[in-house]
Amino acid sequence: MVTLESRETTRFEHRYEAGGRVSRVRSRARPLTTADVPEDWRDAPLVLLAPVIDEVDLRLAAEFTDGAVGAAAQGWLRAVGRDGAVGPRAWESSRPLLDRIQALFLSREDIRGQEGSVVEWLQYVPIGVLTADRDGALLFVNGDRYEVRPRPATETDPTGAGDVFAATFLVEYQRSGDPWLAAAAAACAGSISVEGEGWVAVPDRGLLEATLKEYERSG
* 80-138 pLDDT per residue, tens: 777 777 778 888 778 889 999 999 999 988 888 788 888 899 999 999 999 998 899 99
The CATH code of the domain that includes 115 is 3.40.1190.20
Name the H helices within 39-198: 95-98, 115-124, 161-176, 179-193
Does residue 164 form part of some domain? yes
Does residue 203 form part of some domain? yes
What φ, ψ does residue 31 adopt, rounded to 5°?
-60, 145
Does residue 2 form part of some domain? no
Are 91 and 117 a contacting pair, CB within 8 Å?
yes
Does residue 93 form part of some domain? yes
Does residue 1 form part of some domain? no
How far is it, in rounded angstroms, from Cα 163 to Cα 169?
10
Q: Which of 126, 85, 90, 121 is nearest to 106 (CA)?
A: 121
Q: Does 167 or 134 have the greater pLDDT score?
A: 167
Mean pLDDT of the chain: 87
pLDDT at 2: 52
Spell out the residues 6+ positions from residue 194 whose beta carbon is closer than 8 angstroms to its own: 153, 155, 156, 157, 158, 161, 201
- H or E, element range at 147: strand 144-148
Are 103 and 127 a contacting pair, CB within 8 Å?
yes
For residue 95, give Cα distances in angstroms to 54, 117, 150, 216: 16, 12, 30, 36
Does residue 4 form part of some domain? no
Does residue 59 form part of some domain? yes
Mean pLDDT over residues 61-80, rounded? 89
pLDDT at 14: 62
pLDDT at 5: 45
Q: How confident is the model at residue 7 (pLDDT cuts 50, 70, 90)?
A: very low
DSSP E strands, 30-80: 46-49, 68-72, 78-80
Work out the burial of residue 198: count CB atoms within 10 Å of its CB; fewer than 13 is exposed, 13-18 middle, 19 or more buried. exposed
Does residue 3 form part of some domain? no
Spell out the residues 6+ positions from residue 22 whose beta carbon is closer than 8 angstroms to its own: 14, 15, 16, 85
Provide the 10 A C-beta neighbour count for residue 16. 13
| Overall domain count for the chain | 1
Q: How confident is the model at residue 20 (pLDDT cuts 50, 70, 90)?
A: low
pTM: 0.87
The number of angstroms, rounded, from the C-alpha of 167 to the middle of its chain's C-alpha atoms is: 7
**Domain span holding position 88:** 11-218
